[in-house]
Amino acid sequence: MTFLLVITLGLLFVYALYFAAQTARIGTNPKDFLDGGMALPGWSVMFILPAIGVAALGVERHLLLVSRYGLQASHVAVGLITMAVAAVMFWNRLWLAARLAGLNTPGEAIGRYYDSIALRVIMMGLCVLFALPYSANLLSQAALLVQQATDGTIPREMAVWVFALSMAIPAIIGGWRAIVLALAMEAVLIAILIPGIMLFGEIVLPGDIFPAQPMRVDDGIFWDRIPGVLQGYAGVGKNVPTGGIFTTVAISSTAISLVGIVLSPATLYLGQTARKGHAFGIGAVWLTGGLAAGLLLIAVPVLAARMPTGLVSHAGALAAIVPLAGVSVILLGVMGGLFAISFFVAGGALLLFRELIHTYLLPNLTDRGQRLGARISLGLGFFLLGLMAAFMPFVSAVFASVALPLALQLLPAMVGFAFMRWISRGAVLAGIALGSLLVVFTEPLGLIIFEGLFVNLPWGRWPLTIHSAGWGLAINLLIVFLSSVATLKGPDMYQRSRFHRAMKAHPPASVARSGLLWGLAILWGFLAYGPGAVLGNFFFSDPIFTELQSVMGVPSLWVWQMLFWLFGVVLVWWVSHSVGFGRTHEVTGKPMRLGMPRSMRSPDWISSGLSRVLNRSGNVPAGHPDKAPVRVLLPDLESKQPDVKPGRGKTRVG
């Protein structure tokens, strides 16, 4: 199997290299290297969205959880519907805002809208978090899988560096467009492999199919039902929940944490750099809500029942019959990780270059200079990734656990940016600060540090079976709503209102439909993965309206999941096509200016620091941009700043 596996992984590398070379050969503007000319093919974005959702769950991790906890863990996949709804709504508004106000990156969009450097820094922090520890953890796991599959012929460290190099080279050659084109194929392959391996295994392997042959879970775990709405449980590492950890509250908070992957900078950037058209809608409705969620809810339990000890044993069983089939099982596990790694490291490196280097350190770079800088950033990013994955797998795993929940803390900021003008900068920052604190202290990162330095905390990871994302978001939303009420009439309301007025000129649809949408979404969420989901435990096996028992041959919860998956697809369809978020149109007219004008020179403290390093005498050569006078258009800005009448809060343009 080793030889075939190496050949297959080599072919993946050749494929990415081929498209990188093809992209590089086209004589487009060098700046397109960073953003694909803001016109990525719609089909590629369409294919990548569901794979990002699957990557958020983690192919190998999700299979292991389902084989260990049964259908209660599989229920989390319903969260892909929520993720699809969030993606289509935020992508649509961000895409529009990028064209209306000439915003290049998600960090710039949020930072300029709220006029906050802190939010840009937070976005950069998330870029680093997803590009390094999160991706390094995935890379380490993928390399470990290869080591196990090859019986140590390819050691973990070697696999880490080979993977890092094989992802870096195409990215450095081809840039954002080439990466996206290669990832789109991997997304299709993942979508084919999940049901393909499941069907193949059921045909060639002996034994009954799930649910006739249920998962071999530990004693006391309910594989076919959800263990209640909430449990008085101190958290992982403190005590053991009854019947399993996936209560409805755990499922809903984990499902909502999947929205964090949509709010990760690289995913927002993908939507921002797409071409206009129907891609968001088709990708969200049919491929994410329909295909990906359906595969995870239907195929994964069947597959997981066959692999109680993980992918390697199943691969070995299939390889004994058809070697290439065994390879495909390992390929599924490895590629699920490599897909996310390539996406987040490349996206993160490009965004960090644009947000940090090009915006603050070297704002006068030419287009060719930007391309070179981006290539260096990509190389550095993949090198650091390899370093972390090879030598710091434990640290990577600890930091990776907070990536999704921390990204979710941007939800109020994005909701304010896209829909609710009354959410203010102060409220958003306060919410993020407190929400993040709660996330950190309900995940291993905070627990290990605090308990190592001070005393043991009475709670562990995910207390009361609530995911850290749920804890953080709850306090975050509370703070944001309370603070926004207090800052409703603040002077920065003017800019937000101006921006939302411009956005309203391109509405997705009518208000009436949006109202109905929210009603439907809440009802669906309550029954699909909220407290109402416990009804699914026995709803179809012991109906409440009769004393008869139905004999379906499948667990009632599985039927409930499929039913609400189908309702969920209708919900995403409603958001995308009926309300209209799934479609983007040409934006015409003069672009508006949001926030302060772009500075053409580095901040003084940075330029003086750089000059000390580069030019010890401190003489800036004549003609250097730093020699030019500061070009901040304050008078222009002041002329458009509103006058705020004390006590009344009404604004008027001066």
Partner 1 sequence: MTEHDPSGQLERLSRHGLVMAIWAPTVFVAAILFHAGYIYETNWWFAAAFGSLIVAFCAHIIVNVVLKTGFTAGEIALGSAILVGLTLAYLITILTVSDILVDRLTVPIGLGLGTLVVVVVISMVISFGPRRAFEKFDVIRDNNLRAASRLPHRGGRR
- Residue pair 425/595 in contact by the 8 Å Cβ criterion: no
* SS3 assignment, position 604: helix
Find the radius of gyration of the CA atoms of the chain: 25
Asked if residue 399 lies in contact with residue 440, where contact means CB atoms within 8 angstroms, the answer is no
- Strands 642-644 and 651-653 turn out to be antiparallel
Task: Between 183 and 503, name the residue whose CB sits nearer to partner 1.
Answer: 183
CA distance 257 to 28: 38
Q: For residue 653, what are the β-bridge partners?
A: 642
Q: How far is the CB of 47 from partner 1 (least distance, A)?
A: 7
DSSP classification of residue 236: B
Nearest distance, CB of residue 189 and partner 1, angstroms = 4
Which three-class secondary structure string do you get for 223-246?
CCCCCCCCCCCCCECCCCCCCCCC
**Beta carbon of residue 173, minimum distance to partner 1 (angstroms, whole number):** 14
Contact 77, 297 (CB under 8 A): yes
CB-nearer residue toward partner 1: 20 or 418:
20
Residue 629: Cβ within 10 Å count? 6
For partner 1, give the closer residue by CB, 173 or 571.
Answer: 173
Nearest residue (CB) to partner 1, 425 versus 583: 583
Count of beta carbons in the 10 Å neighbourhood of residue 384:
18
Shortest distance, CB of residue 306 to partner 1, whole angstroms?
17
Give every CB contact of residue 408 below 8 A, 6+ residues apart in sequence. Answer: 256, 257, 259, 260, 263, 469, 472, 473
User: Phi and psi dihedrals of 366, rounded to 5?
Assistant: -75, 175
How far apart (Å, rounded) are the C-alpha atoms in residues 4 and 143? 16
**CB 94, min distance to partner 1, A:** 22
Least distance from C-beta 172 to partner 1, angstroms? 18
In whole angstroms, the minimum distance from the beta carbon of 644 to partner 1 comes to 47
Least Cβ distance, residue 218 to partner 1 (angstroms): 34
SS3 651: strand
Instruction: Give the residue with the Cβ less far from partner 1, 204 or 212.
Output: 204
Rounded Cα gap, residues 451 and 453, in angstroms: 6
From the CB of 564, what's the least distance to partner 1, in Å? 30
Nearer to partner 1, 292 or 575 (CB): 292
Question: Quick one: 103 or 325, whose CB is closer to partner 1?
Answer: 325
- Which residue, 17 or 376, has its beta carbon nearer to partner 1? 17
Place of tokens 């290297």: 33
Concatenate the DSSP letters of all residues of 530-578 into one string.
SGGGGGGGTTTTS-TT-S-----SS-HHHHHHHHHHHHHHHHHHIIIII
Q: Which residues bind partner 1 (CB under 8 A)?
A: 8, 15, 19, 22-23, 26-28, 37, 39, 41, 43-44, 47, 181, 184-185, 188-189, 192-193, 196, 200, 204, 321-325, 328
How many CA within 13 A on the CB side of residue 568? 32
Shortest distance, CB of residue 210 to partner 1, whole angstroms?
A: 22
Beta-carbon count within 10 A of 172 CB: 22
156 or 583, CB closer to partner 1? 583
User: What is the C-alpha to C-alpha distance for residues 310 and 212, in angstroms, rounded to an integer?
Assistant: 20
Q: Which is nearer to partner 1, 41 or 531 (CB)?
A: 41
